[in-house]
Amino acid sequence: MFNVAKIRKDFPFLQNNSIAYFDNGATSLKPKSVIDEVLYHYNYESVNVNRGVYKLSQIATQKFDETRNTVKDFINAKRKEEVIFTKGTTDSINLLALSYGELLNEGDEIIISQMEHHANFVPWQMLRDKKGIVLKMIPIDENGELIYDEFLKLLTPKTRLLSITWVSNLLGTINNIEQIVKDAHRLGVIVSVDGAQAVPHLKIDVQKLDIDFLSFSAHKMYGPTGVGVLYGKKELLEKMPPVFGGGDMIDKVTLEKTTYNTLPHKFEAGTPNVADVIAFKKSIEYLNNIGIENIANYEQQLLNYAMEKLSRFDDLSIIGISSHKSATISFTIKDVHPQDIGMLLDEKGIAVRTGHHCAQPALAKFNLKATARASFAFYNTKEEIDKFIDGINYIYDIFK
């Protein structure tokens, strides 16, 4: 059985705070096993990787490489060299745009969607402005879902890349990646998936889904900040030029020419975030021990419970009501600014996100500039949601 009380004991933050933490879409809390691993590295093995023949360096290098293998297994990649370590999802998408973008030409088309995080908007706009790429956008409907027929119309023989979010950080909408990939691949279109909000909550199998690129972050997976992954099919990564030059990414350097290292090192220039990459393995092991399916089922219960409670409030609008939705609720209250919602909930010990959530094109669909957002994780409880509802009542007592 899913024992949330037992799980909560694994998170030091929850022992030291009475706050109901509902900002998991921004970053997740860290279990003690992850924190301890970071401390252990700095206390006892604080050395560089891939550089030394001495024992401690070899131990750190082995642990670093074990994390790569663990990530490979977690997403069911075919090879560990298909796992590139980055600073986070934003860094991964930028790396892809800078590198794969070099293979594209003026007039080539890239498709994104209206629900993208800015991290999956801006890099492609920058590429458009630099190389004359044509950038197209899939619109969304009033429920916060892709207008799929419009997506199919956007696909042309000139389309080279589709870069799409799996789960919207604003709307909670879960896109049908399997169908999207199939339809894109029929025209030979490469598919890049922003998995930041999906990988911590859904079962991922990049081979089964035939995903070409997948980007995600450790810190949204109960792991450290400053670590991300760009997964890519080997044959695609091998065609792509490196973006950053320096140590580890080289094979041979002369004044006349540099030849590059093999995958994954070609894309990992310089000293990596050793301690946090090593600790990332612990967060994946933690998720595996609980079971992603168990997490998804429990978080769905939390979502249903909160949605039902919030539906009782007049003048409260939920933004994003897809039938296939993650445990994320963006909402507004008539005549109450989202920042006021966030500040008043904070007074009651409830942490939610307010603002545009780096999703201004999606908000524009709803004629909004900001919302409040509650995003749940498997350590949250229905009792905390009750506290959240009490906080909403507190806001109504003041404004209504």
pLDDT score, position 96: 98
Residue 358 among the catalytic residues: yes
Residue 17 pLDDT level (bands cut at 50, 70, 90): confident
Amino acid identity of residue 250, one-letter, is: I
pLDDT over 90 at 221, yes or no:
yes
Domain limits, CATH 3.90.1150.10, in the chain: 4-22+291-399
pLDDT score, position 16: 84
Domain limits, CATH 3.40.640.10, in the chain: 34-288
pLDDT score, position 340: 98
The H-or-E segment that residue 360 falls in is: helix 360-365
- What average pLDDT does the segment 10-24 reach? 95
Averaged pLDDT of the chain = 97
Residue 400 pLDDT level (bands cut at 50, 70, 90): confident
* Per-residue pLDDT tens over the stretch 324-356: 999 999 999 999 999 999 999 999 999 999 999
Residue 326 structure tokens: 């993650």
Q: Which of 59, 358, 368, 389 is catalytic?
A: 358
SS3 track for the chain = CCCHHHHHCCCHHHHHCCCEECECCCCCCCCHHHHHHHHHHHHHCCCCCCCCCCHHHHHHHHHHHHHHHHHHHHHCCCCHHHEEEECCHHHHHHHHHHHHHHHCCCCCEEEEECCCCHHHCHHHHHHHHHHCCEEEEECECCCCCECHHHHHHHCCCCEEEEEEECECCCCCEECCHHHHHHHHHCCCCEEEEECCCCCCCCCCCHHHHCCCEEEEECHHHCCCCCCEEEEECHHHHHHCCCCCCCCCCEEEECCCCEEECCCCHHHCCCCCCHHHHHHHHHHHHHHHHHCHHHHHHHHHHHHHHHHHHHCCCCCEEEECCCCCECCEEEEEECCECHHHHHHHHHHCCEECEEECCCCHHHHHHCCCCCEEEEECCCCCCHHHHHHHHHHHHHHHHHHC
pTM of the predicted protein model? 0.97
In angstroms, the CA 192 to CA 173 distance is 17
What single string gives the DSSP state of each residue in 277-319?
Answer: HHHHHHHHHHHHHH-HHHHHHHHHHHHHHHHHHHTTSTTEEEE
Beta carbons of 140 and 113 less than 8 angstroms apart: yes
In angstroms, the CA 355 to CA 10 distance is 31
pLDDT over 80 at 51, yes or no:
no
Beta carbons of 322 and 174 less than 8 angstroms apart: yes
According to DSSP, the β-strands at 159-165 and 190-194 are parallel
pLDDT score, position 21: 98
Residue 221 is classified by DSSP as G
pLDDT score, position 356: 98
Residue 158 structure tokens: 């000139």
* Per-residue pLDDT tens over the stretch 362-392: 999 999 999 999 999 999 999 999 999 999 9
Q: Which residue has the tokens 């933004």?
A: 319
pLDDT score, position 13: 97
List the one residue out of 386, 340, 324 whose CA is nearest residue 332. Answer: 340
3.40.640.10, 3.30.70.141, 3.30.930.10, 3.50.50.60: CATH of 34-288: 3.40.640.10
Residue 325 is classified by DSSP as B
Kindly state which CATH superfamily the domain 4-22+291-399 is placed in. Answer: Aspartate Aminotransferase, domain 1 (3.90.1150.10)
* Per-residue pLDDT tens over the stretch 105-156: 999 999 999 999 999 999 999 999 999 999 999 999 999 999 999 999 999 9
